[in-house]
Amino acid sequence: ETTLRAVSAFADDTTFSVNFQRFIDKVNESGKGVIQINYVGGGGKVMNPFELGNAVKTGVVDIGNLPGAFYTNLLPEADAIKLSRYTIQEERQNGAWAYMNKLHNEKVNAELLARQKDCVPFHIYLNKKIDKPDLTGLKIRVTPIYRAFFAAMGAENIRTAPGEVYTALERGTVDGYGWPTVGVLDLGWHEVTKYRVDPGFYRASVEILMNLDSWKKLSDAERGVINSAVQWLESLCEEDKAIAEKEIARQTEAGIQAITFEGQVADDYLQLAYDSGWKAFLEANTEHGPKLQELLSK
Amino acid sequence: MKQLASLYSTLLDACGLLAGFVFVLLALFVSIDVVIRNVGLGNFGWLIEISEYALYGATFIAAPWVLRLGAHVRVDLVVGNVPRRAALALEIVTDLIGLAISLILFWYSLAATIASAESNSLIFKDLVVTEWWLLAVLPASMALLAIEFVVRLVRAVRGRTEAGNDTVLDGL
Amino acid sequence: MDWLSALVLMLGLLCALMAIGLPVAFAFLGVNIVGAFVFLGGEAGLTQLARNAMASLTSFTLVPIALFLLMGEILFHSGVAFKAIDAVDRLISRVPGRLSIVSVVGGTIFSSLSGSTIANTAVLGSMLLPNMLKRGYHPTLAMGPIMAAGSIAMLIPPSALAVLLGSLAGISISKLLIAGIIPGLMLSIFFLGYVVIRAGLKPELAPSYEIEAVRGWNRWRPFVIYVLPLFGIFAVVVGSILAGWATPTESAALGCTASAIAAAGYRSLSVKVMIKSMRETAKIAVMILFIIVASVTFSQILAFSGATNGLLGVINSFEATPFMILLAMLVVLLFLGAFMDQVSMIMITLPFFIPLAKLVGIDLLWLGVLMLIVMEISFTTPPFGLLLYVMKGVAPPDITLGQIYAAAAPFIVLELIALAIIVAVPDIATWLPTIMRR
Ligand code: NA
Ligand code: NA
């Protein structure tokens, strides 16, 4: 019986760890006597989240649960995952996953095992009302995920340490921030947020990486157990959408109003999100950029 | 030899002063950032990132100097309450352990630095920073710490314990 | 390896290395090397260990630790702090225990300007102690109040330790800083009360003496010139946080700038003063940050090995009430505090305390303040108490460490009483932060 060690970049039982933990339970249940996963834990108490990619690469950890943005130091191309217009099932069909997996093999020494939270997008959250997709004159807290898009909308991009975002929103140092549909309430930021801009953009997905040596060592029976759990994990899109709906209802209850763009405005808004995102991506990734854009765009 | 020793001392002193200077610069720039932001002149987007690297760099660069001053806090319960000979023996043991720790960390931080340089890792935040430039601070710091432990060791073997002179005064 | 063996290996080795006198940071690093090899997996684990050293320090929330220290050092080395205490000295009239009262009042004022207990104690000790001993003060009433008032610096903001605790425990740093104000003032009043009563009952412990009679404006003038303007610095640091204008890091930077401006205003700022302040800040800040590097990784390896969860599981299985768990935490901290410094205390206990407190529903802000008070107590509990050594350093050579221990004892009792009161009435700690601007 093989035992693998798994770590999540997010704290135990929080939005982006829950399904990963369920995935592990699934493997441990169906893999009795064949393969087991020892879930070591999640978040900063176990490992600096930005070191998890390297830990998977070197085999300190066998399986890691982390978004592409957390290991761009190892694989800058991981940044393109957020820009994909396809579901993971479609990507496995059209060659996009295979291309990305090859890059993971080569540069991260990892198998791109699975993707979760595939159906959850990002949003702009604001404290000042806007009536068109224009952030001119607004100070928006960014991470590298949003920088190009928000800049293209005329925002003044501001970097704020994670622990200081609440205070910064509270006293108006920043007028807004980017975040997935889910998770705002976990952080308590709903107390200092007035608006959410719809529709959402990009994919707030989390990747599950497995050390390539550990992956290669697995027998067919062991891979079978893992693969069927992966299939289950990647089928949770509808469930995730329902969870996001509930989260939106809770946001509304907490006083966050929706600013909704419709029709052509919404289309233009999304087009700008992807165009600006790809533009920045292509500038930084001349080698694999064009091919990835072709594979991931519709 | 004597010249080399004094050159080394000067180097350590400079490292300490540099760390202090970095903290003064941080105070200055963060203050300016607050003011210009509040009068609506924008902000230094790179300041947080630079501050983080500066804090890390200053700490590792100045750690050997702090060891030279004997200002790394230690629990002197045992050392302070045993006969002189025993205290000397303990000093030798701790210096040897300290030396081993510094050498092991020197080796593996060097390995981490080389691995990062070979795979050309870049850190993408506001700035794009070559990762191994940052990691290289570690082996440099560990090498200086190892030298400093050797100096302490030599002193202890010659029969002079530094435990009595260590400034346990320097705390919080 | 099962979790219990892992726990015994990690903690046992740590204690052994600390006990033989290896500097605390290196004791952590040594255990980390063994732990990384065993639990993270051989050489790959050791390389990861090296990378973690960088990752654990590149954090903006740790910046105020250095800046709050810098503030205190600027005011100390420029002599501004001395002038302020001298001005307080003029105000207090001829009463028994006069100089003890000056040290408590002056120490409390300087506490609001400095995040460093060492600077605070050193200022008071070098300024007031020689005079006290010359006047025939009993060592208890001479050194006790100085150490006690010195240690308040970490409770009343600015406080480097509160920032450290808040950032590592995930407690709002602004709230924790603000929460320390009332308990700090309460302690200061306790100390004053004790000094007045003790010197009143036994005047020979602190003989009163004739002081130059300064009347009217001349008596108040130094206070107005050298103390009142300094409250501007406190207002900048605390006010900017209270009003919600500045993050803790920004308030620390503003505090440094304000201190430098104040020193310049008194024509006491020079390149020499700045260099001295820079060196002293670097020495202490680097010492603290280096321990942080080592101990953050220590607690991560401990969690990685399964020891943290294993121990929590056992504690949980006792089904103790939250109150009993809180008491157990405080006792453990008091015990550790007798032997080690404040940063190590935080580092060793947090990986267990925070998950445990969340599990049983103990208010983290309240727990944070209680932890700060225990850490304050541990500054003067023998055998290892930093302020005891500072006192030894500034006292005349004929004062023994035993006398210093004895001098601290009554004040430790007062601090324990204050701790008990805040355990019973959490509002003392948590009320002020709740009225902060939302
Ligand atoms: Na203070
Ligand atoms: Na103590």
Positive or negative torsion for Cα C129, C132, C136, C138: negative
Of A107, A144, A159, the CB nearest to B48: A159
> H or E stretch including A41?
strand A35-42
What is the number of other CB atoms lying within 10 angstroms of the CB of residue C417?
12
Q: Report the alpha-carbon distance of residue C62 to residue A161 in Å, rounded.
A: 11
Rg (CA), chain C: 22
* Mean pLDDT calculated for residue range B10-23: 95
For residue B88, the distance in angstroms to the closest alpha carbon of chain C comes to 11
Residue C399 within a domain: yes
* Mean pLDDT calculated for residue range C372-380: 93
Report helix, strand or coil for C159.
coil
Is A12 in the C-facing interface, judged by CB distances under 8 Å? no
Report helix, strand or coil for B115.
helix
- Nearest Cα to A43, choosing from B25, C133, C355, C360? C355
- What residue of A is the nearest CA neighbor of C166? A163
CA of C82 to the centre of ligand 1 (A): 16
CB C169 within 8 A of CB C352: no
Q: Report the alpha-carbon distance of residue A69 to residue A56 in Å, rounded.
A: 15
Q: Cα A184–A185–A186 angle (5° rounding)? A: 90
> Residue B161's pLDDT is what?
57
Q: Which residues of chain A have pLDDT under 50?
A: none
Confidence of residue B162 (pLDDT cuts 50, 70, 90): low
From residue A184, alpha-carbon distances to A14, A81, C302 in Å are 11, 22, 30
Residue C257 Ramachandran class (φ > 0 left, ψ -120 to 50 alpha, else beta): alpha
User: Tell me: the pLDDT tens digits for B34-82?
Assistant: 888 777 676 777 888 888 899 999 999 999 999 999 888 777 667 777 8
Give start and end residues of each alpha helix (H) in C20-159. 24-35, 42-57, 63-77, 80-91, 98-111, 117-134, 139-151
Please report, as a single letter, which amino acid is at residue C77: H
Q: What residues in C contact B66, CB-CB < 8 Å?
A: 282-283, 286-287, 290
Domain that holds residue B105: 2-171
> Residue B42's pLDDT is what?
67
Rg (CA), chain B: 20
CB pairs under 8 A between A and C: 69
Q: Report the alpha-carbon distance of residue C195 to residue C128 in Å, rounded.
A: 15
Most B-contacting residue of C58, C76, C111, C376 (CB-CB within 10 A), to test interface: C58
User: Tell me: the pLDDT tens digits for C1-48?
Assistant: 788 899 899 889 988 998 888 988 899 899 999 999 999 989 999 999
For residue C322, how many C-alpha atoms fall within 13 Å in the half-sphere facing its CB? 13
Chains touching A, CB cut-off 8 Å, 3+ pairs: B, C
Q: Cα B60–B63–B65 angle (5° rounding)? A: 130
> Residue B77's pLDDT is what?
66
Q: Read out DSSP for A59-121?
A: TSSSEEEE-GGGGTTT-GGGGGGGG--S-HHHHHHHSHHHHHHHHIIIIISEEEEEEESTT--
| Pair type for strands B128-130 and A139-141 | unpaired
Confidence of residue B168 (pLDDT cuts 50, 70, 90): very low
- As beta bridge partners, residue B111 has none
> H or E stretch including A147?
helix A147-152
What is the number of other CB atoms lying within 10 angstroms of the CB of residue A235?
12
**Residues 34-73 (C) with a CB less than 8 A from some CB of B:** 43, 46-51, 53-54, 57-60, 62-63, 66-67, 70
Show Cβ contacts of residue C16 under 8 Å, excluding neighbours closer than 6 positions: none
* Mean pLDDT calculated for residue range C134-160: 90
Is B88 in the C-facing interface, judged by CB distances under 8 Å? no
Please report, as a single letter, which amino acid is at residue B102: S
Average pLDDT, whole number, for chain C? 86
Residue with tokens 């200055």: B28
Confidence of residue B170 (pLDDT cuts 50, 70, 90): very low
Show Cβ contacts of residue A218 under 8 Å, excluding neighbours closer than 6 positions: A2, A35, A226
Is B124 in the A-facing interface, judged by CB distances under 8 Å? yes
**Residues 277-296 (C) with a CB less than 8 A from some CB of B:** 277-291, 293
User: Tell me: the pLDDT tens digits for C45-58?
Assistant: 999 999 998 888 88
By the CB criterion, residues less than 5 angstroms from ion ligand 1 are: C 111, 153, 156, 158-159
Which residue did the predictor score with more confidence, B3 or B62?
Answer: B62
Residue C15 within a domain: no
Q: Report the alpha-carbon distance of residue C72 to residue A206 in Å, rounded.
A: 45
CB C155 within 8 A of CB C376: yes
> How far from chain centre, in Å, is Cα B33?
28
Q: Cα C162–C166–C172 angle (5° rounding)? A: 115
Residue C17 within a domain: no
For residue A173, the distance in angstroms to the closest alpha carbon of chain B comes to 8
For residue C245, the distance in angstroms to the closest alpha carbon of chain A comes to 6
For residue B97, the distance in angstroms to the closest alpha carbon of chain A comes to 26
Please check the confidence at residue C128 and state whether its pLDDT lies above 70: yes
For residue A143, the distance in angstroms to the closest alpha carbon of chain C comes to 15
- Nearest Cα to C410, choosing from C190, C206, C202? C190
Q: Which two tokens stand for residue C363?
A: 């208010």
* Mean pLDDT calculated for residue range C421-426: 96
Least confident among A205-214, B18-27, C102-111: C102-111
User: Tell me: the pLDDT tens digits for C390-409?
Assistant: 787 778 878 887 888 899 99
> Residue B65's pLDDT is what?
96
Show Cβ contacts of residue B159 under 8 Å, excluding neighbours closer than 6 positions: B88
Chains touching B, CB cut-off 8 Å, 3+ pairs: A, C
**Residues 44-63 (C) with a CB less than 8 A from some CB of A:** 44-45, 47-48, 51-52, 55-56, 59-61
Please check the confidence at residue B165 and state whether its pLDDT lies above 70: no
> Residue C244's pLDDT is what?
62
Please check the confidence at residue B171 and state whether its pLDDT lies above 50: no
Reported ipTM: 0.89
Structural domains counted in chain C: 1
Most B-contacting residue of A56, A75, A159 (CB-CB within 10 A), to test interface: A159
End-to-end CA distance of chain C: 48
Report helix, strand or coil for C90.
helix
* Mean pLDDT calculated for residue range C295-311: 83
End-to-end CA distance of chain A: 43
CA of C290 to the centre of ligand 1 (A): 22
Is A90 in the C-facing interface, judged by CB distances under 8 Å? no
Please report, as a single letter, which amino acid is at residue C333: L
Is B34 in the A-facing interface, judged by CB distances under 8 Å? no
Note the ligand closest to the C-alpha atom of C152: 1
Q: Which two tokens stand for residue C429?
A: 């700690």
Burial C161-184 (b: 16+ CB within 10 A, else e): bbbbbbbbbbbbbbbbbbbbbbbb
Please check the confidence at residue B167 and state whether its pLDDT lies above 60: no
Note the ligand closest to the C-alpha atom of C151: 1
* Mean pLDDT calculated for residue range C131-147: 89
Domain that holds residue C296: 3-10+22-437
Please count the residues of chain A: 298
> Residue C438's pLDDT is what?
46
Residue with tokens 């292509």: A282
- Nearest Cα to C423, choosing from C319, C333, C316? C333
